[in-house]
Amino acid sequence: MEVAIFKDSKLASQAAANLIARTMIERSGKLVLGLATGSTPLDTYSELVRLHRNGKLSFKSVRAFNLDEYVGLSGNSPHSYKTFMQTHLFSKVDIDPRHCHIPDGKSLDPRGECLRYEESIRSAGGIDLQLLGLGQDGHLGFNEPSSSLSSRTRLKTLTESTRRTNAVHFGSHDEVPHHVLTMGLGTIMEARRCVLLAFGEKKADAVARMVEGPLGASHPASILQMHQNCTVILDETSASQLKRQDYYREVFSGKPEWQRWDLPLD
């Protein structure tokens, strides 16, 4: 696990965008990209949009798969993750709408929809780079504590704490759906590279447990310790409880330039 600590979330988000952009360019744009929602990746998406508008980046050959969607919400709902992605990324770049995949929260057959989604990922050749956020309780996607570490895309019931956290995006706590369709931890772990973003003091405990704590289902993100190519991108406050901060900084600053994925493209 590579841990990169930046002064603030803005710089960290720009570095994450540079990592994604460099990976796209190395693959001549032919990238299967796993995407996350929520406030954490917003600045990264803004930077990717800026690079696209400056002619540095094309999404024409990118295929995108989102982590999750609320059950019961249509893609046209202002609260759906499909709308979120359209608003913050898809509508602002040249990606083919047919290549934007998000679980169908309105499916009358949720189990069948999850199986279909898994098959779509396999048919695309698997996810090359999966962008992730981190819940304060250590969840990845909507894999809440006690989730199977080998789980696949499936229907999950949200905890009350997660619903309260997400209520900020709805009119009230009562409007937050109780269920979601989410990629499982086993699905996430099959991505060729995972890139996790975590910012702010409220994430510090979850970050420390993910990076330096024991591996276990009680803290789902700890499974990333087993991933062969995982990069964790933090700001100083989210890294504040890491016991080996100095070591992570030394290793990252000592990388040869050809390994530096954070250097700007322009």
Annotated catalytic sites, by residue? 68, 137, 139, 144
DSSP 35-75: E--SSTTHHHHHHHHHHHHTTS---TT-EEEESEEETT--T
Q: CB-based burial of residue 112 (10 Å sphere; 0-12 exposed, 13-18 middle, 19+ buried)?
A: exposed
Question: Residue 234 pairs with which residues in a beta bridge?
Answer: 5, 198
| 168: DSSP letter | G
Quote the CA–CA distance of 90 and 111 in Å, as a whole number.
27
Q: Which are the contacts of 89, defined by CB distance < 8 A and separation ≥ 6?
A: 35, 45, 48, 49, 95
